[in-house]
């Protein structure tokens, strides 16, 4: 019994020490100074534009040595020698890495030759929507249709008149820094979020991975996957928006017409040094984490004969093609040698307003910039152009991107070339901000005739697809400088200039509270009114319908879709 | 609301916002000095201040005044219950005083009665390529009283102009913090009858120091 008690006593004492040490460590970490594993004996000091390590000798030792020099106990040479040795020793003993927290977890290694910063950002949102009767019927089938199954059938997006949801709208993980030297940077962004209208839970996905060389200020280069330098609203981070969400028109006019991100290379000059900035990029033009080899359409075993359809020989089928066969077909990749080209020029007329929306920094002097971009993305397959709804076997990635970004009216037009222009301007001064953009997109079909609706092409679409254009203007003012902002926005979008009653008009008002004067913590309450016309012709959704697509189009009952939303969003960036 | 009236309402709203775009926090009127180590600027107050500027204080006297200050950060509750027990830290090191005091003394001779002297002392940050260490604040003189306010004490701040709106990780400057200031000898640290804020009776204090 006594032995047991004694053992327990020893054990208890040991555990109490361990617990005490643990508690001390927790407290020291919590209330103590920032953790730094760098030697305290020295400091990196900037001198003549270079950073040098200056050792500070232990003050007591230094005092004693200096007195010894004065008293003549040691010579000045001996003092300098021992000081030098002390510096060398301290330098050698210090770890060659530092770890600290400063808006992210920072790791600096090999005297800053390698640097890693890890950050996380989340936007948690509550959305209250009310929709008019038109959302129940006809629903939204043209700009944002839903694509179903392997054939990509068009479906109208319909819903009841109100919805209330919580959503993790954004969850991002950042890994960034430099390798070998501060002029060779890397940037990786992962996402783990679910879009508001997603039909499946989101998983972890790669958003950005790119490397940048900044060795030459006039010729920086960035390679990898990232947001293309094309227009202001897309270059800007969603962390620094004045509203909980981008306007619909901003998403519809990306450089590729598919997504704001792509894989490629951009050369540019240093935005910090030059008032006029250029950007020129070459990309796949296929959207993020994808390339054109992944996009295919069906072909019969006989070369040049469109395949993949059921119910007979598809159209427009070249003469001499055999009767279509159901099971044995090929996936053919066409136009895989095409690339997308993107250019942008920006002039910082006054100051450096940057790309972030609003004037959180409370500019003391007026900040003004204007810019413009052009993008050419050839041979995008909006449908395989050999069949229509329900019998069109092809890779659907392009089509899903078109529908997700509001370009659903361009579905079914066959192979198209996109030429997109954007001009923008921004002004900021003392908490006030004003910015706007104008977009224009020219859509060129490779098939020059009207889209056929039957094999003999005796029934066609009523007209050709036109072009698309849109604009927005937004303004904000900090009611409390750097803390509370009130912002308004109006956006206008004509998705098809040859169609009537298809305009999209959006008005937003947002009240934003930046809790500590940065983007690291903010609460945004954004009210939006969106009016979307359902008029105009869209292949596969309007009369005349393609053969075998039924007799009642999705837009048999027209009207304007009206939606009112209130989004309450909390952002945490750490 | 039709399209025309909607546009008109937007235009009016924009004009109102531009009209409201007047200063609401002090703003820079003159850059007295700026280099990699220190920046000193004159800032216009937004409400009548009635300072007794300009004022003649030598660099040595300014250094002696600044040498007497110490501070600690004022924490929010409930951390304040613990953090207030932290002993104050010396505000400036000698190397900082050497570069700052002459510039402040010079600025106080140029500053107007409705302006204050804003300063920042820089040092390389934890990662000098991206951050610098900033200690900043402002001084002003009311009669015989010298006011000092510290906004940043060795705070890591971004280096480049484009950092606040960087399109990968926008990083505005860390906002000002509140610091509790102390001055030794304490008998010269008095409440200003005009503002109620604690400030240094610098004329009396300088009598106790040797002349430059």
Residue A49 has pLDDT above 60, yes or no: no
Mean pLDDT (whole number) for A28-46: 42
Please provide the average confidence, as pLDDT, over all residues in chain A. 86
Closest-CA residue of B relative to A48 is: B36
How far is A410 from A393, CA to CA, in rounded Å? 18
Question: Tens digit of pLDDT for each residue in A131-165?
Answer: 999 999 999 999 999 988 777 888 999 999 999 99
Mean pLDDT (whole number) for A119-131: 96
- Min Cα distance B201 → chain A (Å) is 32
**Do A342 and A415 contact (CB within 8 A), yes or no?**
no
Residues of B with Cβ-Cβ distance to A519 under 8 angstroms: 170, 172
Per-residue tokens: A45 = 């000091």
Question: Tens digit of pLDDT for each residue in A472-488?
Answer: 999 999 999 999 999 99
Contact assignment for B25 to A481 by CB distance below 8 Å: yes
Question: Band of the pLDDT at A112, cuts 50, 70, 90?
Answer: confident
Residues of B with Cβ-Cβ distance to A115 under 8 angstroms: 127, 129
Question: Band of the pLDDT at B74, cuts 50, 70, 90?
Answer: confident
- Min Cα distance B38 → chain A (Å) is 13
Length of chain A: 574
How far is A177 from A171, CA to CA, in rounded Å? 20
Nearest CB among A51, A239, A475 relative to B128 is that of A51
* Interface predicted TM-score (ipTM) over 0.90: no
Chain A residues 114-143 with a CB less than 8 Å from chain B = 115, 119
Full DSSP string of A265-296: EEEE--TTT-SEEEEEEEE-SS-TT--GGG--
Question: Tens digit of pLDDT for each residue in B110-167?
Answer: 999 999 999 999 998 888 888 999 999 999 999 999 999 999 999 999 988 888 888 8
Residue A274 dihedral angles phi and psi, to the nearest 5°: -105, 135
Q: Is B81 on the interface with A (CB under 8 A)?
A: no
Residues of B with Cβ-Cβ distance to A182 under 8 angstroms: 129
**Count of C-beta atoms within a 10 Å radius of residue B17:** 19
Q: Is A574 on the interface with B (CB under 8 A)?
A: no
Question: Tens digit of pLDDT for each residue in A458-470?
Answer: 888 899 999 999 9
- Min Cα distance B167 → chain A (Å) is 5
Q: Is B70 on the interface with A (CB under 8 A)?
A: no
Per-residue tokens: A522 = 């903010």
Nearest CB among B28, B82, B167 relative to A235 is that of B167
Contact assignment for B23 to A182 by CB distance below 8 Å: no
Question: Band of the pLDDT at A385, cuts 50, 70, 90?
Answer: low
Specify the pTM: 0.84
For chains A and B, CB pairs below 8 A equal: 125
Residues of A with Cβ-Cβ distance to B174 under 8 angstroms: 517-518
Question: Residues A487, A493, A495, CA angle at the centre, nearest 5°?
Answer: 155
**Do A177 and A116 contact (CB within 8 A), yes or no?**
yes
Closest by CA to A206, choosing from A156, A137, A261, is A261
Residue A386 has pLDDT above 60, yes or no: no
Contact assignment for A51 to B124 by CB distance below 8 Å: yes
**Do A260 and A254 contact (CB within 8 A), yes or no?**
yes
- State the pLDDT at residue A257: 95
Residues of B with Cβ-Cβ distance to A102 under 8 angstroms: 126, 131, 156
Please provide the average confidence, as pLDDT, over all residues in chain B. 87
Three-state DSSP state, B29: strand
Nearest CB among A271, A364, A488 relative to B13 is that of A488
Tell me the percentage of chain B whose pLDDT exceeds 90. 56
Contact assignment for B129 to A490 by CB distance below 8 Å: no
Contacts of residue B78, defined as CB under 8 A and 6 or more positions apart, other chains included, come to none
User: Does residue B69 have a cis bond before it (omega within 30 degrees)?
Assistant: no
Q: Classify each residue of A519-540 as buried b or exposed e, where b means 16 or more C-beta atoms within 10 Å of its C-beta.
A: bbebebebbbebebbbbbbbbb
Chain A residues 221-260 with a CB less than 8 Å from chain B = 227, 235-237, 239-240
Length of chain B: 212
Residue A14 has pLDDT above 60, yes or no: no
DSSP H helical ranges for A157-310: 232-235, 248-252
- Min Cα distance A475 → chain B (Å) is 7
What secondary structure letter does DSSP report for A140?
B
The owner of tokens 């600096």 is A108
Q: Is A15 on the interface with B (CB under 8 A)?
A: no
Cα-based distances in Å from B142 to A28, B64, B114, B147, B151: 42, 19, 11, 8, 20
Contact assignment for B162 to A271 by CB distance below 8 Å: yes
Contact assignment for B165 to A178 by CB distance below 8 Å: no
Residue A41 has pLDDT above 60, yes or no: no
Q: Which of A319-333, A549-563, B109-123, B174-188 has the lowest mean pLDDT?
A: A319-333
Closest-CA residue of B relative to A492 is: B3
Q: Is A346 on the interface with B (CB under 8 A)?
A: no
Contacts of residue A100, defined as CB under 8 A and 6 or more positions apart, other chains included, come to A34, A35, A36, A106, B126
Question: Band of the pLDDT at A7, cuts 50, 70, 90?
Answer: very low
Q: Is A378 on the interface with B (CB under 8 A)?
A: no
- State the pLDDT at residue B168: 85
Closest by CA to A417, choosing from A375, A466, A379, is A379
Question: Tens digit of pLDDT for each residue in A404-446?
Answer: 999 999 998 889 999 999 999 999 999 999 999 999 999 999 9
Element (H, E) at B101: helix B94-110
- Min Cα distance A44 → chain B (Å) is 7
Mean pLDDT (whole number) for B58-69: 95
Nearest CB among B25, B28, B128 relative to A44 is that of B128
Residues of B with Cβ-Cβ distance to A240 under 8 angstroms: 165, 170
Residue A87 has pLDDT above 70, yes or no: yes
Residue B2 has pLDDT above 90, yes or no: no
Q: In what order do the strands lie in the sheet with B198-201?
A: B27-34, B38-44, B115-124, B131-142, B145-158, B198-201, B189-191
Nearest CB among B128, B165, B174 relative to A240 is that of B165
CA atoms within 13 A on the CB side of A277: 27
């Amino acid at each position: 019994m006594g032995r047991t008690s004694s053992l327990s006593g020893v054990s208890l004492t040991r555990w109490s020490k361990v617990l005490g040490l643990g508690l001390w460590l927790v407290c020291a970490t919590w209330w103590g100074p920032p953790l730094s594993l760098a030697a305290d004996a020295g400091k990196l000091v900037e001198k003549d534009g270079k950073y040098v390590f200056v050792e500070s000798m232990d003050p007591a030792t230094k005092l004693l040595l200096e007195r010894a020099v004065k008293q003549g106990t040691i010579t000045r040479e001996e003092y300098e020698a021992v000081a030098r040795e002390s510096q060398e020793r301290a330098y050698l003993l210090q770890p060659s890495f530092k770890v600290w927290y400063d808006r992210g977890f920072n790791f600096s290694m090999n005297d800053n030759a390698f640097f890693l910063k890890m950050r996380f950002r989340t936007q948690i949102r509550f959305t209250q929507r009310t929709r008019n009767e038109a959302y129940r019927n006809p629903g939204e089938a043209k700009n944002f249709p839903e694509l179903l199954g392997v054939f990509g059938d068009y479906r109208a997006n319909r819903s009841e008149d109100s919805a209330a949801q919580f959503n993790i709208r954004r969850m991002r993980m950042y890994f960034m820094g430099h390798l070998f030297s501060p002029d060779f940077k890397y940037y990786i962004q992962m996402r783990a979020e679910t879009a508001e209208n997603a039909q499946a839970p989101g998983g972890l996905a790669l958003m950005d991975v790119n490397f940048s060389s900044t060795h030459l200020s006039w010729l920086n280069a960035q390679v990898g996957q990232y947001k293309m330098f094309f227009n202001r609203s897309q270059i800007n981070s969603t962390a620094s928006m004045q509203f909980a969400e981008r306007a619909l028109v901003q998403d519809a006019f990306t450089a590729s017409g598919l997504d704001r991100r792509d894989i490629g290379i951009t050369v540019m000059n240093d935005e910090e040094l030059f008032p006029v900035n250029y950007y020129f990029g070459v990309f796949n033009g296929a959207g993020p984490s994808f390339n054109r080899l992944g996009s295919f359409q069906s072909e019969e075993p006989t070369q040049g004969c469109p395949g993949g359809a059921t119910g007979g020989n598809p159209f427009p089928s070249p003469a001499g093609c055999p009767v279509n066969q159901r099971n044995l077909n090929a996936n053919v990749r066409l136009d895989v040698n095409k690339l997308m080209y993107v250019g942008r020029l920006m002039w910082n007329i006054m100051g450096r307003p940057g790309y972030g929306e609003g004037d959180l920094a409370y500019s003391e002097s007026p900040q003004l910039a204007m810019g413009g971009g052009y993008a050419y993305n050839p041979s995008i397959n909006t449908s395989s152009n050999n069949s229509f709804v329900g019998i069109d076997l092809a890779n659907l990635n392009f089509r899903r991107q078109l529908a997700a970004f509001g370009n659903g009216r361009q579905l079914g037009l066959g192979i198209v070339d996109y030429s997109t222009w954007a001009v923008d301007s921004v002004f900021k001064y003392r908490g006030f901000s004003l910015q706007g953009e104008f977009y224009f997109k020219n859509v060129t079909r490779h098939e020059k005739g009207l889209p056929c609706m039957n094999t003999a092409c005796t029934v066609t679409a009523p007209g050709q697809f036109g072009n698309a254009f849109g604009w927005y203007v937004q303004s904000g003012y900090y009611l409390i400088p750097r803390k509370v902002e009130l912002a308004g926005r109006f956006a206008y979008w004509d998705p098809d200039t040859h169609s009537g009653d298809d305009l999209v008009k959006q008005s937003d008002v947002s009240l934003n509270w930046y809790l500590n004067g940065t983007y690291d913590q903010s609460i945004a309450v954004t009210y939006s009114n969106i009016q979307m016309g359902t008029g105009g012709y869209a292949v596969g959704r309007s009369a005349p319908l393609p053969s075998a697509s039924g007799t009642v189009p999705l837009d048999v009952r027209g009207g304007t879709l009206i939606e009112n939303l209130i989004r309450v969003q909390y952002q945490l960036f750490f | 609301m039709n399209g025309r009236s909607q546009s008109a309402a937007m235009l009016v709203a924009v004009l109102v916002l531009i009209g409201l775009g007047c200063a609401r926090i002090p703003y820079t009127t003159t850059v007295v000095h700026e280099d990699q180590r220190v920046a000193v600027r004159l800032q216009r107050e937004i409400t009548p201040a009635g300072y007794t500027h300009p004022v003649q204080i030598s660099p040595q006297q300014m250094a002696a005044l600044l040498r007497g200050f110490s501070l600690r950060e004022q924490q929010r509750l409930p951390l304040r219950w613990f953090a207030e027990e932290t002993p104050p830290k010396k505000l400036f090191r000698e190397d900082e005083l050497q570069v700052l005091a002459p510039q402040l003394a010079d600025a106080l001779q140029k500053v107007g009665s409705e302006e204050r002297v804003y300063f920042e002392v820089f040092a390389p940050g934890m990662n000098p390529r991206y951050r610098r260490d900033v200690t900043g604040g402002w001084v002003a003189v009311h009669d015989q009283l010298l006011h000092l306010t510290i906004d940043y004490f060795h705070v890591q701040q971004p280096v480049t102009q484009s950092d606040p709106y960087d399109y990968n990780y926008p990083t505005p400057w860390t906002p000002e913090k509140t610091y509790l200031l102390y001055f030794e000898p304490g008998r010269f640290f008095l409440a200003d009858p005009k503002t109620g804020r604690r400030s240094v009776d610098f004329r009396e204090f300088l009598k106790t120091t040797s002349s430059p």
